[in-house]
Structure 1
Amino acid sequence: MMITNNYTLIRKFWNTFNTQGLSVTSIFYSTDLKLTSSIQYIAKDRSKDPIYAKYLKDLTSYSKTGEDNYVESETRFAVLDGVGGYIQHGYDSSIISSRLAKYIKDYDSPSSDLKECLNTAYQQVLNDPIVEAGATTVTLSQINKVTGEMDVLNLGDSWLGVLRKGEFVEETLKQEYFFNAPYQLAKIPDNGKESNSISNKPDDADAYKFMLEKGDLVILSTDGMIDNWSRQKIANWWSENLNDTIALDVLNKKFVELVNIDSKDDSFYSEFVKEYNILTNKRYIGGKEDDITVLVVKVE
């Protein structure tokens, strides 16, 4: 006898049971999940960057999330990270991440297929005159509150992890061509600028299906967070601090503030620097200052 509401597990054993002459009876029951989410972010200070000053005349009104963006709805959640290299040619990637986020959030179809959602949203970006050029990564999830299944698409080096009882039991893997060169959805200008840039399609995204349980914490973040803190440090902090007496927004704000402090600390040994040192046989140290966006979803 197997009792489960895990569709993936049942599909896995269905044929095995049948070939052995065993009857299979499936009863799917509702997990009736309650989802509570929080979004917090801190944008990198660009006020002293001469390149941004050259192309973006009024930095005081610049995007509050920097080149990052996010989607936070009832069951659909995403983080996006605009590729900063486009500013070298005068294109602001905060625009493409913002518009792609808008179209992902607005996508409304009887189909729950995430690739259809991302393909549709990306095509709208390509047709959007507001987006002259730019590129963005995206980590996109959709949670079924009845079955507990979470579908995930990841394209690039943003991240999603499922924290359960102090450990990450599921997570996405980053997609890179080489160090610090992530997969990205791009809109290439017609004038030849950025013509050699990386340009992926939504179908290049890695697809995942995770089963959530009550008590899980789903964490989505751009690389501004995971390039600084290790998975273990993230797991330890949330496991020690998450409780029912402190609001999720309060905790997430504190978390992002702590990561931001480390990102600016020349003596902090960041994950980004660790990886760079392994690749180059160097001994650098320091945080990696970047836009930081963290979206957490508490599953109850």
Structure 2
Amino acid sequence: MLALNKSKGMYQKSKKLIISSIMIVIVSILIAAYTNKYTEYNIPIISFNLDSLSKTFLATFPLAKLAYSSNFKLTSSIQYTPKDRTKDAIYRKYIKDLSNYSKTGEDNYFKGKARFAVFDGVGGYIHQGYDCSIISSKFAKYLGEFNNGESCRLNDALTYAYKQVLSDPEVKAGATTATVCQINEQTGLMDVINLGDSWLGVLRGDKIVFETVKQEYYFNAPYQLAKVPGNNRGSISNTPNDAVESEFQLNKGDLVILSTDGMVDNWGNRKIEEWWSAKLATSEDLDSLNKKFVDEVTACSKDQKFMSSFVREYNMLTNSSYVGGKEDDITVLVVKVE
């Protein structure tokens, strides 16, 4: 009983200290705003960015992290299905052994403790004899090793990977899209950087409450990080500074979904929402669910009677009436937040 009373007393003291610290920070900001910036009788409107205030508070009072932390647990799963290239004449021409080709096709991924990414090599380079599974795999490697996988600015990580790829002699030429996220396991704040038409979405309950927006120059021509061959300076070539960076506050129970365009070119948001919200209500493990998900999307991509997102968009742009799935490499990395 004595130990319990002491614990309660320590909790109350810690609670009072944290509340007092927050009040001191807010009052200090208000005083500074009124006394240093304003004269006469102008009444300022002061707005607070809660994420920024939280970061400032935690940096000022490190011990408060113990009380502030929600201790988020991240469980991740990667599943993929490469497109069948064995019957494609252009691949047979330039790839010596297609039976031993990259297991993820031209897609690649990085799955760390709290940093996750998908990369989609641009298939058009094969017409010049360049295999884009190489550049996407190198981006995954270099992005993962930056800062030993520890928390960092994602633009710094992507820029490091980009510079390493440009100087890597194994990468002759090629291009890839990039979608990367990093999750703070104490606060649940997720940083995202996206370039091109791969995708990240957050499922909360039965709704996607956050998603990246694809970057394209025109239909099916995404922004891309490229190592352009010397004889083709007109190719699309972007840098990490062209990527869109964003933040999103995750809640326990959220599902973060990263995928290359092979998935979202077939399934739209509503179908993704319905599938995952129903399956997550079961007791099945995340790997099994993700495999079933990728298998079902893959089946749709090969179904000539299925109305894919890609074909629907093409029909709208061209006033056509085609039907069919879109075959492609499909890579899906999901992260369950608990």
Name the counterpart of 1:40: 79
The whole-number CA distance in structure 2 between the counterparts of 1:228 and 1:76 is: 26
Letter in 1 for 2:272: I
Name the counterpart of 1:107: 146
> How far 1:108 sits from its partner (Å)?
1.0
Identity %: 61
Letter in 2 for 1:279: L
Q: Which runs of 5+ in 1 are unaligned?
A: 1-9
Q: Which structure has more helix as a fraction of its residues?
A: 2
Determine helix, strand or coil for the equivalent of 2:96: coil
Map 1:179-194 onto structure 2 (within 5 A).
179-190=219-230, 192=231, 194=232
202, 210, 215: which is aligned to 1:175? 215
User: Looking at both structures, which has the greater relative contact order when contacts are Cα pairs under 8 Å and sequence separation is at least 6?
Assistant: 1
Matched, 1:147 2:187: yes
Name the counterpart of 1:237: 275
Radius of gyration: which is bigger?
2
Deviations 1:91-127 (A, max 9, x none): 0000000001000011116761110110011000000
Q: Which runs of 5+ in 2 are unaligned?
A: 1-24, 34-43, 58-63
Letter in 2 for 1:168: I
Q: Is the 8 A contact 2:151 2:182 kept in 1?
A: no
Residues 96 and 167 of structure 1, relative CA distance in 2, 3 Å threshold: same
Question: Which structure 1 residue ranges, 4+ long, deviate > 2 Å from structure 2?
Answer: 17-28
Letter in 1 for 2:211: E
Matched, 1:129 2:173: no
> How far 1:244 sits from its partner (Å)?
6.0
The whole-number CA distance in structure 2 between the counterparts of 1:271 and 1:244 is: 28
> How far 1:195 sits from its partner (Å)?
2.3
TM-score under structure 1 normalisation?
0.91
> How far 1:165 sits from its partner (Å)?
1.0
> How far 1:208 sits from its partner (Å)?
0.8
Name the counterpart of 1:260: 298
Matched, 1:61 2:105: no
Matched, 1:86 2:125: yes
The whole-number CA distance in structure 2 between the counterparts of 1:292 and 1:91 is: 20
Letter in 2 for 1:158: S
> How far 1:245 sits from its partner (Å)?
1.9
Residues 284 and 112 of structure 1, relative CA distance in 2, 3 Å threshold: same
Matched, 1:159 2:206: no
Determine helix, strand or coil for the equivalent of 1:108: helix
The whole-number CA distance in structure 2 between the counterparts of 1:180 and 1:20 is: 45
Residues 236 and 189 of structure 1, relative CA distance in 2, 3 Å threshold: same
TM-score under structure 2 normalisation?
0.81
Deviations 1:215-251 (A, max 9, x none): 0000000000000001010011000001462110000
The whole-number CA distance in structure 1 between the counterparts of 2:256 and 2:310 is: 22
